[in-house]
A and B are shown apart, each in its own frame.
Chain A
Amino acid sequence: MTSVAERVDRLERQWAERPGVLGWLTTTDHKRVGLLYFWTTLVFFGAGGVEALIMRSQLIQPNNDLVGPETFDQLFTVHGMTMIFWFIIPMTTGAFGNYLVPLMIGARDMAFPRMNALSFWIFLASGIFLYIGLFSGFGPDAGWFNYVPLADRLHDPSRNIEFYTLGLAFNSIASTLTAANLIVTILKLRAPGMSFNRMPLFCFAFLAASFGLIFALPSLSVDLIFLFLQRNLGFHFFDVAHGGSSFLWQHLFWFFGHPEVYILIVPAFGIATEIIPAFTRRKMIAFPLVAIAELLVVFIGFGVWAHHMFATGLPTTTLVFFAGATSMVVIPSTIQVFAWCMSIYAGRPKFKTPLLFIIGFIVMFVAGGLTGIMFLAIPFDQQTTDTYFVVAHFHYIIFGAAVFPIFGGMYYWFPKVTGKLYFERPGQISFWIIFAGTNLLFFPMHIVGLLGMPRRVYTYPGDMGWTSYNVIESIGGYITAVGILALFTNLVVSYFRGAPAGPDPWHGPTLEWSVPSPPPEYNFAVIPTVSSAYANWDADDRERDGHRLTAGVGTLERGHEQHVSSLIDGWTSEIVDMPHSSPWPIALALALSLLFAMLVITHYLFAAIFAVVIALTLLGWHGKEPQES
């Protein structure tokens, strides 16, 4: 009779990674990939933050000359690109999604572990690619939205825009792979008994955001391909002199760009919908409404893109249609806001750091959402678009609705990932500093925008009455930076000096709290059975799992085994053998990097050669077949 210890030992040996750096380079473990994403996105967050601080330092005084217009234009462009594509999306989907989704659904890894690793290495390479552009003086400089004709060859002759088109295209491959992986994982790898309606709300959110990425990113890709062809091979898509249209760039861009902003915040909603039950010690109010709302907000979000184009001179009927659609997309958000608030009200809240960040998130999201609603009044939009009022709106939304939950999530899952508890007092202090700093930074932007200050200006005249607001904003920026440094200092010190956390310090609702902290490579010694959306609160089920472990039922120890279930009901449909530890992902990412490098210097022959190398790498990747069951 095999004992539990022997089973666990067998699993440990099966799932052990190669030691050292080689183990990290060839890892396919979703937790390691998640951590790689986590640290890398933090570096890009820092870069984006530094870019912001330099801009705020330039704008602290009128007619300042800290940086000139060329540098400033690259700063605001790369700041926007970095924060969206190299921080928020990879931090939510790549770090939180990869690390937590398999744990929450009772799986041992993502559906495609090697593709997961590939997405990370591609993401890293794309960031290096972009920043090589910036540091060599060829940073994109036409705004993150890169309108033509400004971005076409005539008006932006140097390589800057190639770093834009190719950098984003490169990055979007990583996001697409991650999204595809999350969708298949969430749909097919859930634990037995985890039917669709028993999935944690976090999974609904990540499913919605992933579908958003799958269907929205291609619109951007088409725009980028068209622009690359126009700039480098003489094609005509956007120039009216040859039958093209400047509007085409905008339509394609915003068809991607609007769903993108929901993709940014919906995963963060998912984080909030896990922290709230844990810290209010009750289930989420109106769970089905919240789940549907998370899916609906992305879906409806595909129909509103032209509200970014209200000032372009499109026909009034068109504008009114889009304003109407935009008012519809508000409803799923208001449903969620009130569900969160009522859950906090109806529960027994513990106002610890994670919940504080969620409360800060709710307040800032509502503030940003209210200014968003103002924009559906077309005449109002036509006054305030392209001013600092918009900058205020979207920073309240992005910083408030995406970054605050990310910070809250870092504190919430810190014990699970590190096995240590963080220091609570410094955590709360870091929250208040960041909350104060961000409000000081972004609130005055509403006012200065209403006073007429346009966006994307490297300086402004001293006699417009804008100066004092800019000073306050810049000071707010510095305070925010201090708060963020305090947050990370706390986490680092807690990592080294924190008390041991144990598996479940919060009595959290979801399955990741049922395994040790940090989780073993194989996550679950026995595949759990689930009968509600709050699986870790179902003591009977968890006790039954203990018996199953002793009896050796569902331990899946014969290889790198993973349970696959049916789509709707979570019935066991097969057991599959997963890949484990492979050099092919990093090899393929390297080959792709070389392809993009050749494209940015327009050496098409070498690019074609690397395309062949990529094909050969894919052959090698699929050379070894999984074991038959």
Chain B
Amino acid sequence: MSDVVAVDTRARERFPLGVWGIAMLIATEAALFAMMVGSYFYLRFKNAQWPPAGTPEPKVVVPLVLLGVLMLTAFPMWKAASSATPRRWLLLALVVQSGYFAMEVSDFRDDLRHFTPQQHAYGSIYYTLLGADHGHVAVGLLLDAWLLWKLLFGMTEFRRKAIRAIALYWYAVIVLTIVVTLTVTSPAFAR
């Protein structure tokens, strides 16, 4: 019953379909954030004072340090996708990413004490950008948790592909967070 079509040795099977799917998601979300970041700069250049009077300038050190921490989690995600013992790497990534997320939530609430999105376009775009970015981080945390739960029942080809797909998602979230963090801290740099 030789109904199998022989794999062509010239074809290098690089990415499973699931990874292509995540790539499509990343493409469309990237476009979404590109338009939001574009809107940030459009509004910025429409306003002589940015942030407006009475609103504190964005913090720089803490966000950049936290960003660095998030960037480091690319390593355990990469190891999870390529090693034979992914669970420990996923767990490490999840712990650090959760810590990052908790710090960001705390900073977010602290910012809200000083200015709100309802006051001015600066606040609106600031909180929308950060909120959307960290919404994607939160989804990433849930995906990590789902993977860890699935891996409790053993490794399969599907789960290996899923780790690769979710690692790709995380790389994209990290790049996104770099862009968003640099954007919202930019008023502190360009004076």
Q: Which residues of A contact B (CB under 8 A)?
A: 2, 7, 111-112, 115, 176, 179-180, 183-184, 187-188, 192, 214-219, 221-222, 225-226, 229-230, 233-237, 242-245, 248, 251-252, 255, 527, 551-558, 563-566, 569, 571-576, 615, 619, 622, 625-626, 628-629
Contact = CB atoms under 8 A, between A and B. Distances in A.
Contacts, number: 156
B25 to A, nearest CB: 7
A226 B2 contact: no
B106 interface: no
Contacts of A222: 32, 35-36, 39
A565 B7 CA distance: 9
B85 interface: no
Contact of A571 (B2, B10, B27, B156): B10
A622 B36 CA distance: 31
B39 A217 contact: no
Given A184-B24, A243-B43, 19 more contacts: A184-B17, A192-B5, A215-B28, A215-B31, A219-B31, A233-B118, A236-B121, A243-B46, A245-B42, A245-B121, A553-B2, A556-B3, A556-B4, A565-B11, A571-B8, A571-B11, A572-B11, A573-B7, A575-B4
Contacts of B121: 236-237, 242-245
B17 A235 contact: no
Contacts of B35: 218-219, 222, 252, 255
B27 A242 contact: no
Contact of B146 (A230, A236, A619): A619
A236 B124 contact: yes
Contact of B17 (A188, A215, A556): A188
Given A219-B35, A226-B39, A244-B43, A555 B3 contact: yes
Contact of A556 (B5, B11, B43, B146): B5
Contacts of B156: 625, 628
B117 interface: yes
B12 interface: yes
B4 A183 contact: no
B120 interface: yes
Contacts of A565: 11
Given A176-B28, A221-B32, A243-B121, A563 B5 contact: yes
A234 B122 contact: no
Contacts of A229: 117, 124, 128
A47 B36 CA distance: 34
A575 B5 contact: yes
A248 B24 contact: no
B104 interface: no
B189 interface: no
Q: By CB atoms of chain B within 10 A, which of A192, A552, A573 has the most?
A: A573
A49 B106 CA distance: 53
B92 interface: no
Given A214-B27, A218-B28, A566 B2 contact: no
B62 interface: no
Contacts of A2: 1
B3 A236 contact: no
B20 interface: yes
Contacts of A619: 146
A352 to B, nearest CB: 37
Given A2-B1, A222-B36, A572-B6, A215 B158 contact: no
Contact of B42 (A7, A115, A188, A248): A248
B13 interface: yes
Nearest to B28: A214
A214 B158 contact: no
Contacts of B11: 565-566, 569, 571-573
A626 B160 CA distance: 13
A575 B7 CA distance: 8
B47 interface: yes
Counting from the closest, the 4 A-B pairs by CB-CB distance are: A243-B121, A180-B24, A571-B8, A218-B32
B20 A574 contact: no
Given A248-B43, A566-B11, A615-B142, A552 B125 contact: no
Contact of A566 (B4, B12, B24): B12
B52 interface: yes
Interface string B80-119: 0000000000000000000000000000000000000111
Contact of B117 (A215, A216, A235, A571): A235
Nearest to B156: A625
B157 to A, nearest CB: 5
Contacts of B10: 566, 569, 571
A245 B46 contact: yes
Nearest to A625: B158
Q: By CB atoms of chain A within 10 A, which of B12, B29, B43 has the most?
A: B43
Contacts of B128: 225-226, 229, 235
